Amino acid sequence: MQLDHIETFLDIIESRNFNRTADRLGLTQSTISTRIKNLESAIGSELFQRGRAGAEPTAAGRRFEAYARSLVSTWSQARHDVRAFNRFEGTLRVAAQVGMTRSVLPGWVETLCQALPKSSIHVESDYSNQMVSDLSMGNLDIAVLYAPRYLPEIAYEHLMVEEYLMVSTAARNLSDVDPDTYIRPGYTVVLEKTHAEMLAQLAICRLSTGSEALAEIMLRRTGGTCYMRSDDARRFTGEIPSFLVEGAPTLHQPVHTAILARRKHEPIIRKGIRALHLAVMSLEV
């Protein structure tokens, strides 16, 4: 099995057409067909059904897609790490929950650069499930996430608790919040559950979202009320005529670190975790 066969497979997944993939990759249609035939032979399953409308992945093809993307990602990361080896003493790949790019992540990256001056550092923001998968596959070293998914090879530790405050462009008090202009927070399972328990009167509303960024944008565009992370809430009320709603409960979201258990004693991992703790401490000052 060759990497170019897998890359060809993934291109067809997107193009749904052998001829279109041939044009995109600058190859002949027969070369594309041969690559897929060889890949199917190596896997032992048909990956595409071809017809007049193009090429549709079979059930086996859809199943293989995730593995194919992981293989390409792993190869890319391996090339980066090996090339970096000649220039740097180590490589650290870290990620934090989407939405933490204005809170924990900047301070963490700054502290990492100071603590690991001779290492290369790759930083991402992502969602919990994907970060856990990346850790398990070896494509990530340290993750900061909301929702642990318990796997035997991954070690979790409690890091902090984030607070969410209710912000409104119209209502000063909880009793004045209009359900028709309220955006229910669906950012995490924990927040949804807590919200349902503490704010039953706002459990049914016209709009809900799983994106904190979108909730803030909608508040800026149309006004209304929503929950924001505490630092974002205070920043927002300093920029836009709005209020921290009195009487509204504070919602709490636990935050965890995750690493591969077998790597917890590696110096670069320990320094990365230490840098993270320092960044969190700086937020609390």
Q: How confident is the model at residue 285 (pLDDT cuts 50, 70, 90)?
A: low
Asked if residue 162 has pLDDT above 90, the reply is yes
**Beta strands of 119-234 (E only): which ranges?**
119-126, 142-145, 154-168, 182-185, 207-209, 225-229
Q: What is the pLDDT of residues 121-146, one digit of tens each?
A: 999 999 898 899 889 888 899 999 99
Q: How confident is the model at residue 1 (pLDDT cuts 50, 70, 90)?
A: low
Domains of the chain: 3-71 (1.10.10.10), 87-160+254-284 (3.40.190.10), 161-252 (3.40.190.10)
Alpha-carbon distances, residue 97 vs 29, 94, 254 (angstroms): 42, 11, 12
d(CA 136, CA 125): 17
What pLDDT was estimated at residue 109? 96
Look at the pTM and tell me if it is higher than 0.75: no
Contacts of 90 (CB under 8 A, 6+ apart): 116, 118, 119, 120, 268
d(CA 181, CA 138): 44
104, 109, 111, 112 alpha-carbon torsion, rounded to 10°: 130
Q: What is the pLDDT of residues 220-278, one digit of tens each?
A: 999 999 999 999 999 999 999 999 999 999 999 999 999 999 999 999 999 999 999 99
Helix axes 267-284, 104-115, angle to 10 degrees: 130
